[in-house]
A and B are shown apart, each in its own frame.
Chain A
Amino acid sequence: MTDMISELLITQQQADAISGIIRREGSQKAFNAVCLPSDSLELNRYQIWLDGETYILTRENPKARRSAGSAKAGGLADIKAPMPGTVLKVLVEEGQVLEPNQPVVVMESMKMEMTLSASAAATVDAVQCAAGQLVDMNAVLVKLKPV
């Protein structure tokens, strides 16, 4: 039962997390702050606890070069996994025309089922997942194109 391999889990060596106290206009407030993972290179996300409140803020990343055309024209969003999890059901086929709010994929994550639906009328461009498949957060499950 003895395991000769040593493993370390380092819990407090954090480059982009700080805790401290801020003094301004004669009063002191405790704070804690971290950088959160961001979907976009152009934006930094921060989560800050300050004096009893937790804030989530987004700031433009000054270092990021603007990359053109990252967002799809017309605001038609592909069906992406909002969470890591398992695909339970794919309800559409390639070429199918979808109505707004039509359910597209049923997923399960943390023992909870969720139905992902089309945000607007669209045509299914490609189905990129299958029932039973484990998917990462933000994985494109179904590609959509305008009708």
Chain B
Amino acid sequence: MKDKPKKFQKILIANRGEIACRVIQTVQEMGMQAVSIYSDADKFAKHAVLANESYHLPGNKPAETYLDIPKILEIAKAANVDAIHPGYGFLSENADFAAACQKAKIVFIGPSPEVIDKMGDKLHAKAMMDKAGVPTVPGLTLDAEFDLESGFANIEKAAEKIGYPILVKAAAGGGGKGMRLVEKNSELKGALEAAAREAQNAFGDARVFLEKYIGRPRHIEFQILGDAHGNIVHLFERECSIQRRYQKIIEESPSPALTPELRKKMGDAAVKAAQAMGYTNAGTVEFIASGNDFYFLEVNTRLQVEHPITELVTRKDLVRLQIDIAQGEPLPFRQEDLSQDGHAIECRIYAEDPANNFMPSVGPMRIYKPPQGSGIRVDDGYTEGYEVTVHYDPMLAKLICWGSDRQAAIERMRWALSQYVILGFNHNISFLRQIMTHPAFQAGDLHTHFLAENKITPELTSETSSSVTPYLEAIIDGLSKPSAHRQQSVKDITQSEEASPWLELSGWRGA
């Protein structure tokens, strides 16, 4: 820590997809070289193309590519990088990786391995927060080597004590992976097995724990930043209550639920939590809130997926701040310098079929036209022509809109979603629009069971309106005719006398 701050020349981004692209942008803006890594399936992916240098990790399994610490460090050394940015997911919350970077004299852009280790284990994190006086949810810790066959009776007893419904969660987890809701005793064993298996697959750690389930909670998290000089601030909250399968799909900042008093109280608790850990770099303190009560949930020791909404309302570049902090620089502002300006909403665009239980969808992205315009930001990891594969998370992009207030942000989001063209497989864009127009969403009455409780199920957009049908039939006609006849077919349909240049249909992306 006492070393003279070293300016980075080159940063390796140990990730893929939209977050790798997002980090590369700031790295290059700062005049540094960005180094990317890519698996077989990602050979032509956007992040591999965007970086100044890209290196191949043979294979497609995460364990032999984006999770392979020795291989990644070998590349980092060969490419002579000063620092590694882990993004989110993959190795971002892996203390061994942070420690291995340290050992290899490469700066890990994130908190210390000790902090990651403590917070990555939700059980330790909870105990630590209890001690620091931050409120936590009642639950049950399972021993590191609990045996489901011999030890189940004890688990069952303890679960009765906490009271159903109960959540089973992966100790090393995140993003809803390995999480199960257990309504009654008879479901407990199966849920424990499935959660442990999923946790083992996703994180290489099968430990799980039980937690009391709180009905109709809001998920509200605070962005924190700490520098190497002991300064810690929060950059306000993000409300992430709209979830499907325990995974966030819409986030916003500020939260419509927080009064200035509650915001201050939670912000102070987040800073207190960060101080108790000796936190450095960017992190997120997650709470569940119900009325005026809030409980510590976990700390994410990394940049969050939904960080852009904080960037838009605070007008700060979190990746730039992360890099500056990692270079040893002090935070350029104090708590009282920070404020929230306007309102930002993020929608996660997934390759999935909302009408079929959100089943992931794959295939080539045949036509891709993200929306553009005032107050619209798209963070994506794919470009037209690339294949969405089964190997990775089905999140394609994030659409983030800023407005002067919540209503303006919602209206802008609705417009931007309508202008977002993704063709080639199923996606959730229409579903997101449906949520944006729902009265309960507009009223800000959010909680984590919002979709189920409001019975928001995807409307099938097929030939519903007869006014659209002639257009669709004409387009299908144009699609099935050989290209030489396309202009003619359009002329037939439109009854147009003369051919004007804009009438010409193009098999290529429109100018």
- Complex: how many Å from CA A9 to CA B453? 46
- Complex: how many Å from CA A82 to CA B360? 9
Asked if A17 meets B390 with Cβ closer than 8 Å, knowing A33-B479, A49-B423, A110-B360, the reply is no
- Complex: how many Å from CA A22 to CA B430? 22
- Complex: how many Å from CA A19 to CA B424? 13
Indicate with 1 or 0, residue by residue over A11-51, a CB within 8 angstroms of chain B CB atoms.
11011111111111000011111111100000010111111
The interface stretch among A52-60, A120-128, A139-147 is: A52-60
Asked if A54 meets B494 with Cβ closer than 8 Å, knowing A11-B384, A20-B478, the reply is no
The answer to whether A114 has its CB under 8 Å from any CB of chain B is: yes
The answer to whether B317 has its CB under 8 Å from any CB of chain A is: no
B194 touches A55 (CB 8 A): no
A49, A50, A51, A83: the one within 8 Å of B360 (CB): A83
A12 touches B471 (CB 8 A): no
A34 touches B509 (CB 8 A): no
Complex interface residues of chain B between 367 and 413 (CB less than 8 A to chain A): 367, 369, 383-386, 390-394
A-B residue pairs in contact (CB < 8 Å), sample of 28? A11-B385, A12-B384, A12-B508, A14-B366, A14-B507, A18-B507, A19-B509, A19-B510, A21-B503, A22-B493, A24-B474, A24-B493, A29-B471, A31-B475, A32-B423, A34-B424, A49-B367, A49-B421, A50-B468, A51-B471, A52-B418, A54-B429, A54-B430, A57-B472, A84-B390, A109-B360, A110-B391, A113-B194
A33 touches B475 (CB 8 A): yes
B463 touches A55 (CB 8 A): yes
Asked if A32 meets B503 with Cβ closer than 8 Å, knowing A20-B510, A88-B197, the reply is no
B356, B391, B418, B479: the one within 8 Å of A46 (CB): B479
- Complex: how many Å from CA A69 to CA B421? 38
The answer to whether A4 has its CB under 8 Å from any CB of chain B is: no
A24 touches B494 (CB 8 A): yes
The answer to whether A66 has its CB under 8 Å from any CB of chain B is: no
A37 touches B363 (CB 8 A): yes
- Complex: how many Å from CA A1 to CA B498? 57
A53 touches B418 (CB 8 A): yes
A23 touches B359 (CB 8 A): no
Closest A residue to B79 by beta carbon equals A1
Q: Which residues of B contact A47 (CB under 8 A)?
A: 423-424
Chain A interface size, as a band, is: 35 or more
8 closest A-B pairs by CB = A11-B385, A52-B418, A20-B505, A110-B360, A19-B510, A34-B366, A9-B44, A34-B423
A35 touches B479 (CB 8 A): yes
State how many angstroms separate the Cβ of A41 from the closest Cβ of chain B. Answer: 15
The listed residue with most B CB atoms (<10 A of its CB), out of A15, A59, A111, is A111
B177, B359, B363: the one within 8 Å of A82 (CB): B359
- Complex: how many Å from CA A84 to CA B390? 7
The answer to whether A112 has its CB under 8 Å from any CB of chain B is: yes
State how many angstroms separate the Cβ of B421 from the closest Cβ of chain A. Answer: 5
A32 touches B197 (CB 8 A): no
Asked if A24 meets B390 with Cβ closer than 8 Å, knowing A109-B360, A111-B201, the reply is no
10 extra interface residue pairs, beta carbon distance < 8 Å, beyond A36-B363, A113-B194: A12-B509, A17-B367, A17-B423, A19-B367, A19-B506, A20-B504, A31-B475, A32-B367, A50-B472, A110-B360
A10 touches B385 (CB 8 A): yes
The answer to whether B150 has its CB under 8 Å from any CB of chain A is: no
Q: Which residues of A contact B480 (CB under 8 A)?
A: 44
State how many angstroms separate the Cβ of A139 from the closest Cβ of chain B. Answer: 13
Closest B residue to A111 by beta carbon equals B202
A14, A31, A32, A110: the one within 8 Å of B471 (CB): A31
A55 touches B461 (CB 8 A): yes
- Complex: how many Å from CA A35 to CA B390? 21
Asked if A33 meets B418 with Cβ closer than 8 Å, knowing A23-B494, A24-B494, the reply is no
B423, B493, B508: the one within 8 Å of A33 (CB): B423
B245, B356, B385: the one within 8 Å of A12 (CB): B385
Closest A residue to B390 by beta carbon equals A84
B472 touches A48 (CB 8 A): yes
- Complex: how many Å from CA A108 to CA B390? 10
A20 touches B506 (CB 8 A): yes
Asked if A111 meets B508 with Cβ closer than 8 Å, knowing A22-B494, A47-B424, A50-B472, the reply is no
Q: Which residues of B contact A19 (CB under 8 A)?
A: 367, 505-506, 508-510
- Complex: how many Å from CA A113 to CA B202? 11
Closest B residue to A37 by beta carbon equals B363
B429 touches A17 (CB 8 A): no
Indicate with 1 or 0, residue by residue over B473-484, a CB within 8 angstroms of chain A CB atoms.
011101110000
Closest B residue to A62 by beta carbon equals B480
Closest B residue to A28 by beta carbon equals B502
A22 touches B475 (CB 8 A): yes
- Complex: how many Å from CA A81 to CA B269? 47
A36, A44, A113: the one within 8 Å of B198 (CB): A113
Indicate with 1 or 0, residue by residue over B83-113, a CB within 8 angstroms of chain A CB atoms.
0000000000000000000000000000000
The answer to whether B292 has its CB under 8 Å from any CB of chain A is: no
Closest B residue to A61 by beta carbon equals B480
Q: Which residues of B contact A52 (CB under 8 A)?
A: 418-419
A56 touches B177 (CB 8 A): no
The answer to whether B490 has its CB under 8 Å from any CB of chain A is: yes
Q: Which residues of B contact A53 (CB under 8 A)?
A: 418, 430, 461, 468
The answer to whether B362 has its CB under 8 Å from any CB of chain A is: yes
- Complex: how many Å from CA A113 to CA B360? 11
- Complex: how many Å from CA A18 to CA B506? 6
A22, A33, A83, A110: the one within 8 Å of B392 (CB): A110
Indicate with 1 or 0, residue by residue over B181-200, a CB within 8 angstroms of chain A CB atoms.
00000000000001001100
- Complex: how many Å from CA A35 to CA B424? 8
Q: Which residues of A contact B479 (CB under 8 A)?
A: 16-18, 33-35, 46
- Complex: how many Å from CA A23 to CA B493? 8
- Complex: how many Å from CA A86 to CA B103? 36
A17 touches B504 (CB 8 A): no
